Structure 1
Amino acid sequence: MCVATPVMAKSLVCVWDVAGKTGDVTSSAVDYVVAMQKNGVEMEVKGYVDERVAIEDFRSGQCDAVIATTLRTRPFNAISGSLDSIGATTIVRNGKIDIKASYDVVRKVIQIFSLPAASKLMVEGNYEVGGLFPLGAAYPIVRDRKINSVEALSGKKIAAFDYDKAQGVMIQRIGAQPVSADVTNIGPKFNNGSVDMVTLPAVAFKPFELYKGIGTTGGIGRLPILIPTVQIVLNKTKFPEGFGEKSRQYWVSQFDRALHFIDVAEKGVPANMWVDLPPENVPKYVQMFREARIEIANQGIYNKRGLNIIKRARCDVNPSDAECATKTEIE
């Protein structure tokens, strides 16, 4: 008698990409699926342009894993979710943003999260973080480049993702007005003047047609407010034991590829749209971000342990910074 061998069903990975099927996140996800076949795990990709729907399909069990922004996936893991805190990975040297060093902080944190010793931190209930990679520094993008200081933002309307409560807190701290938005409508709201400012990475420039809102009067300030990342979150009951660690280590190996995508996206923005901030203001803003982070953590929105891990990475990269006189960011 012939007994059929049971065939393991393919795991479904729901992938959000701002640029749809042609985007860098999707192409990275497809390569991930191929790489994970070597670990005996068969997966297939389902693409989404609306991130909220991808997350809901994952929550409801229609997907076994989801690839989406850390701001959206933070509820699945508060520690890894802290990487996308305001100014948490920004390094300043001699009054200037050191963007290369800032990405080094992101890399170090992702490496820490991928260590076998950190594997317990990457699990909450049935959810496990299967990796992270940077989407690119998020810059303040304004319709009028006269808005070039915190003072000038007073009373202005700034788009805020309502699923990231920290944005609303920060906007109100500077006396501006948060306007609820999500990835499906943030572009049109900026372009039609419903908001004066958005904070987005360069990868959003073309898909959201932000050049329409920037026009001849607006600009993009070279001050990263945070470096958003993308997270892979697994329903760990659907994958073999030990898969999460292999997955995290794979994504560590993809960091430089992500940096290449970011570089291409930033070079795709016309040079005349970038605006450098007065160097004397930069340290002041970074300090303001730090104060906001601590306040937001004390409100329970940011994870304190996560912020302390990131501070250690910042001080590894830039040990001469005054903040490195103390070990922790927050008790």
Structure 2
Amino acid sequence: MKFSSKLLAAAFLASCVGGAQAATSAKADAKPEGNGAQFCVFDPIGTGETHRAMQDYALAMLKKGHVVQLKTYVDERVAVEDFRTGQCDGVMATGLRTRPYVPFSAALDSVGASTIVRNGKVDLKASYEVVHQFVNVISSPKATDFIVAGPYELAGIAPLGAVYPFVNDRNIDTLEKAAGKRVAAMDYDKAEAQLIQRVGAKPVAADISNFSTMFNNGLVDVIMAPAMVYKPLELYRGIGTKGGVARFPVLILTGQAIIRSAKFAKGFGQDSRDYFASQFDTAMGIVAKGDREIPEKLWIDSTPRDNERYVLLMRQGRVLMAEKGFYDKKGLKLIKKIRCSIHPQASECTELTENW
């Protein structure tokens, strides 16, 4: 199935994880937990997996001597805005939303950045290993120069799962057939609409609260989303009897914790990154469960030739968006090194692309 970087971009948005079943209130928790620095947490359900995971995180930080207040939001936009305006000292949101604060780590959520195709087949295990190695690298005390950007600091990364194209018609199985189709485009991602238009598709403005409803009601033909939201968002309604899910990861979505370093005790950032890194396998267990929940009959497999084409298209899209300033070049350069350490036979490993 052919979905270029443009469509891929839509992926991010859609993926703004989770059972976000239409939660409309901005804050799920009025009372913070603790008496330390405030941490805004995006959880589309309010008391879902992310909220519970962050409660465990707060306890782990307490054992290290750090007190963290948690304030949970069901609207990611509001959570990030409260962080921007200083109402929160830290925020946990998708890498697509945190990009303005620590661009280097947000490069991981760029189109195709972690996708590996080996001998014409998607190697999902290797793709997740790209994410895993990146998390390990940025969690090293030696990586501080890369994950501190002015007053902001990356405090950890959690995998949220591969993002796949969901279509209402299985005939949309090549890039050419995507031309003219309506694709949900998150209104906060400046690169996305451009990527969608490049393939001749029509971007339709959407956000986390309505993209699934638009798909289920037939207002758009394509959305990008991680498998874990298939059931919570009832995407089978939009798929109907004619649609499906392309088994091609346009990107692997991550949750990223960002803090204002000055608001936390010395050493907090490193302790936090160490904790997130230690929880990678646990998070992957939840991701794998989501992939298994999509019925096998709905998956659409691409030909080996198309899989190779998609990798190239995504690389071209990444380079273009990096040159326009949307993606961080240093972050992409590191991710390429990791990809090539895992799959050195890939053609890109002998090319100069992304070697800024």
1:225-304 equivalences in 2 (<5 Å)? 225-304=250-329
How far residue 330 of structure 1 moved from its aligned partner, in angstroms, is 4.0
- Which residue number in structure 2 is paired with residue 203 of structure 1? 228
Q: Distance in 2 between matches of 1:291 and 1:124?
A: 27
Residue 73 of structure 1 aligns with which residue?
98
The aligned residue for residue 159 of structure 2 is 134
Task: Please give the per-residue CA displacement for 1:195-224, whole angstroms capped at 9, x wherever unaligned.
Answer: 110011012222322111111111110000
Unaligned runs of 5+ in 1: 1-7
Q: RMSD between aligned alpha carbons? A: 1.4
Is 1:187 matched with 2:187?
no
- Corresponding residue for residue 35 of structure 2: 9
Where does structure 2 lack aligned partners over 5 or more consecutive residues? 1-33
Q: Choose from 160, 173, 178 the match for 1:153.
A: 178
The one-letter code matched in structure 1 to 2:41 is V
Q: TM-score, normalised by structure 1?
A: 0.94
What secondary structure does 2:294 align onto?
A: coil
Are the aligned partners of 2:115 and 2:249 in contact in 1 as well (CA < 8 Å)? yes
- CA deviation map 1:243-298 (0-9, x unaligned): 11111111111111111000111112222222212222100111010011111111
Larger Rg: 1
Q: Give the equivalent residue in structure 2 for 1:3.
A: none
* Counterpart-to-counterpart distance in 1, 2:261 and 2:230: 35
Match of 2:354 in 1: 329
Change in Cα spacing, 1:327 to 1:243, as seen in structure 2 (3 Å) is: farther
Aligned residues of 1:172 and 1:178 also touching (Cα < 8 A):
yes
Structure 1 stretches of 4+ with a deviation exceeding 3 A read none
Show the counterpart of 1:116. Answer: 141
Per-residue deviation at 1:328?
A: 5.6
Structure-2 change in CA distance of 1:118 and 1:31 (3 Å) = same
Once the two structures are TM-superposed, the CA of residue 15 in structure 1 deviates from its matched residue by 1.1
CA contact (8 A) 1:67 1:230 kept: yes
Find the residue that maps to 1:316 and give its secondary structure.
Answer: helix
Q: Does 1:93 align with 2:89?
A: no
C-alpha contact 2:35 2:69 (8 A) present in aligned 1: no
CA contact (8 A) 1:87 1:286 kept: yes
The TM-score normalised by the length of structure 2 is 0.88
Distance between the aligned counterparts of 1:46 and 1:34, measured in 2? 15
> Could you list the per-position Cα deviations for residues 73-104 of structure 1 after superposition, in whole angstroms to 9, with x for gaps in the alignment?
11111111111110010111110000000000
SS at match of 1:61: coil
Partner letter of residue 172 of structure 1? Q
Give, in angstroms, the shift of residue 175 of structure 1. 0.8
Q: Secondary structure at the match of 1:136?
A: strand
In 2: Cα distance, 1:176 partner to 1:124 partner: 35
Tell me what 1:215 maps to.
240
Letter aligned with residue 179 of structure 2: S
Mapped partners of 1:17, 1:206: distance in 2: 16
Answer 1 or 2: higher relative contact order, Cα 8 Å, separation at least 6: 2
How far apart, CA to CA, are the structure 2 residues paired with 1:18 and 1:25? 9
Identity within the alignment, %: 47
Q: Deviations over 1:110-167 (max 9, x none)?
A: 1111111111211112211100011100000001111111011001111111222222
**Contact 1:15–1:47 at 8 Å: present in 2 too?**
yes
Counterpart position of 1:57: 82
Q: Is the 8 A contact 1:312 1:327 kept in 2?
A: no
Q: Which residue of 2 aligns with 1:25?
A: 50
Tell me the distance in 2 between the aligned counterparts of 1:271 and 1:14: 37
Contact 1:311 1:328 in 2 (8 A): no
The residue identity in structure 2 corresponding to 1:284 is R
Q: Hey, what's the Cα distance between the residues in 1 that align with 2:225 and 2:292?
A: 15
